[in-house]
Structure 1
Amino acid sequence: MNLPDLRAPRNPSRRAAIATLVAALAWPGAGIAQAFPARPLRVVVPFPAGSSPDVIARFWGERLGKSLGQPVVIDNKPGASTIIGAQAVAAAPADGHTLLYTVNNTTSINPFIYKTLPYKSEDFVPVVRLLSVPYVLVVSANSPVKSLQDLIAAAKAQPGRLNYASYGIGQGTHVAMAWFLNAAGVSMTHVPYKDGGLLDVMAGTVAASFEPSTTAIPQVKAGKLRALAVSGPKRVDALPGIPAVAESVPGFLGDSWQGIFAPRGTPPEAVAKLAALSREIVASEEFRQKLHELGLNPAGGSPADFAAFLADDARAWSKVVADNGIKAE
């Protein structure tokens, strides 16, 4: 007697249906979703190794990797005012495994100063704002300018005669200084530098500059620069006694920030997981102590918080760009 083979369906159509179901379950894009993350994460940092964003990205990435159980690999793609790195992430697969660690230029300044960009702000999903970056208004330690009021008075007495350095046309330090000068009702001449011109500020060749706290504070403490004010809404613990610009110029708020983005279309579950773990890192004493040493301020919040912040940030910076006719090629 011949018994039927119970390992396979006797009906050809049923056999085909089962084969289709097996194939669907085996395909990562259908059926049961794969656990995230399924492989190491790549985080694009559009700045060189050793820069402030790179240092913090590696510090955050190491801790995120431990929480996720997957390595977090930092991929430095500096150049073109963060455009090179942003373009790379905008074109990456939207699966949560490629992220962008960047600053305000990418979404709040570049779209308003460049006629064309290879990406749009809408190409990214906000994940979390990790921190804010105060700028420090500095002059040479030997400058006769002793205070913010002195600088404003000198600029009023010599309209356009004093100069200031920045990291280039349309960079955060340039636009922040333009905002300050507008708010204070004075004018100075912009001198863009690829490296920020800090050595010329120290030498007194250039009168002043806004410098990120991470590079300004060590030089202030070394006695090579004098800090006049900070750009944030409040004073910085690492510079006791140095006022916020807003104490003398109401309404001014020129901080930059650092945050995480994913390509548009990234699964909400992946974004939520990355945001939740990042918030835990931001809340940790270890992370906050690291930021304190560098004069940075922790942020945090949800993806929705970051999205709302970005909308306000872009409105503020775009107005400064428009008011000053700032354009870059």
Structure 2
Amino acid sequence: MVTARIPASIAPRPRPTRRALGGLALGALAAGLPGRAMAAWPDHPVTAIVPYPPGGNNDILARLLSPAVERALGQTLIIENRGGGGGTIGATAAARAEPDGYTLAFLDIGTLAIAPFLFARLSYQPESFEPLIRLTEVPLTVGVPAGSPYRTLQDLLAAAKAKPNGITYASPGNGTAGHLAAQMLVSLSGARMVHVPYRGSGPAVTELTAGRVDLLIDGTLLPAVQQGQLRALATTGPHRSPFLPDVPTVAEAALPAYSFLSWHGVAAPKGTPAPVLARLNAAFDAALRDPMVVERAKQLGLPLKGGTAAEFAAFASEERKKMEKLVQESGARVE
């Protein structure tokens, strides 16, 4: 017996069951949810992770910018300090957060450009984030206690060479910009000093002011210098800081090949929706131009930047190339 083949185009189709129809309806509803949820974003507070303790520039920037950002978004920005590991603990928490627009991170040169090459084991990578905006570009200050016997950078380096490991230098933690800037100073000068890492800039500045360490290179020293609590020996950028015009650069004072700039930015977990990223960039860019923010940043010695997410991504990529070479040359490594 021969069985006739019925063309698929005219073959009878089974009627969908009530369960199948219900499933299709639920699928359509689920497909529509992202659009409606996106339109409502943000409908509750946004968490901003600062991967350092209170007192450092990341924390200062978060608290300085948050009022203007909150006005733009219509929601509260909850600042959450998660220090430790040179910023890598907080950065890891941010990278692993849900990419729904409700978690941000105030990151920096240490977490986005230095840590991938400095740390033997790292629980995140720069690609774990969506860059949002660059906030600053900061020359660091080489500071000593007000009562320090070292009047110039040359004095300090000469003492370090005369008595190897007799001078201590603090940093905000292993892998931070201050650590690598000091390591660069050590490498180029040939001096040997003892590294004393702290959990953020705040504790490091406190210990320096008290005279319990000899040296700190950091971006938060300007107020203490202006108040006479610390002495600035040099700044780390290629040009003199407009905030300390009478203080020479490291290149002028002792090491012509030396130049180091720190920077800060905001990022979100990889996969955060593009419309959310666009709104966040616009909110932060506007906050960076707020007159009150600009004036306070000048008082703190923080040159503000701004711009697009794409510009920040390209900048951070180039910085990683520079930092990889610098870390290798310095021989610094955190196991």
Answer whether TM exceeds 0.5 for this pair. Answer: yes
| Greater Cα shift, 197-206 or 137-146 | 197-206
User: In structure 2, how many angstroms separate the alpha carbons of the residues matched to 1:178 and 1:31?
Assistant: 49
Q: 1:259 aligns with which of 240, 262, 265?
A: 265
SS for the counterpart of 2:275 is helix
| TM-score after normalising by structure 1 | 0.83
User: In structure 1, how many angstroms separate the alpha carbons of the residues matched to 2:208 and 2:309?
Assistant: 39
Instruction: Show the counterpart of 1:73.
Output: 78
SS for the counterpart of 2:38 is coil
Per-residue deviation at 1:108?
1.4
CA RMSD of aligned residues (A): 3.0
Instruction: Show the counterpart of 2:190.
Output: 186
SS for the counterpart of 2:232 is strand
Q: 2:90 aligns with which of 64, 85, 94?
A: 85
Instruction: Show the counterpart of 2:243.
Output: 238
1:114-125 equivalences under 5 Å are 114-125=119-130
| TM-score after normalising by structure 2 | 0.81
Per-residue deviation at 1:57?
0.6
Instruction: Show the counterpart of 2:68.
Output: 63
Matched AA of 1:95: D
Instruction: Show the counterpart of 2:317.
Output: 311
Given the alignment of the two structures, is residue 273 of structure 1 paired with residue 247 of structure 2, yes or no?
Answer: no
Unaligned 5+ segments in structure 2 are 1-14
Per-residue deviation at 1:136?
0.8
Instruction: Show the counterpart of 2:28.
Output: 24
Aligned length: 315
- Between the two proteins, what is the percent identity of the paired residues? 36
The answer (yes or no) to whether the contact 2:109–2:263 under 8 Å persists in 1 is yes
SS for the counterpart of 1:239 is coil
Instruction: Show the counterpart of 1:112.
Output: 117
| Greater Cα shift, 255-264 or 185-194 | 185-194
Cα deviation code 1:204-259 (max 9, x no counterpart):
664432132x2x22322232321111123333333241123344544533222221
Instruction: Show the counterpart of 1:34.
Output: 38
Instruction: Show the counterpart of 1:209.
Output: 216
User: In structure 1, how many angstroms separate the alpha carbons of the residues matched to 2:309 and 2:50?
Assistant: 19
Are residues 30 and 158 of structure 1, via their aligned partners in 2, closer, same or farther at CA, if it must alter by over 3 Å? closer
Per-residue deviation at 1:27?
5.1
The answer (yes or no) to whether the contact 2:170–2:198 under 8 Å persists in 1 is no
SS for the counterpart of 1:35 is helix
Given the alignment of the two structures, is residue 299 of structure 1 paired with residue 305 of structure 2, yes or no?
Answer: yes
Q: 2:224 aligns with which of 215, 219, 223?
A: 219
Matched AA of 1:211: D
Per-residue deviation at 1:202?
4.8
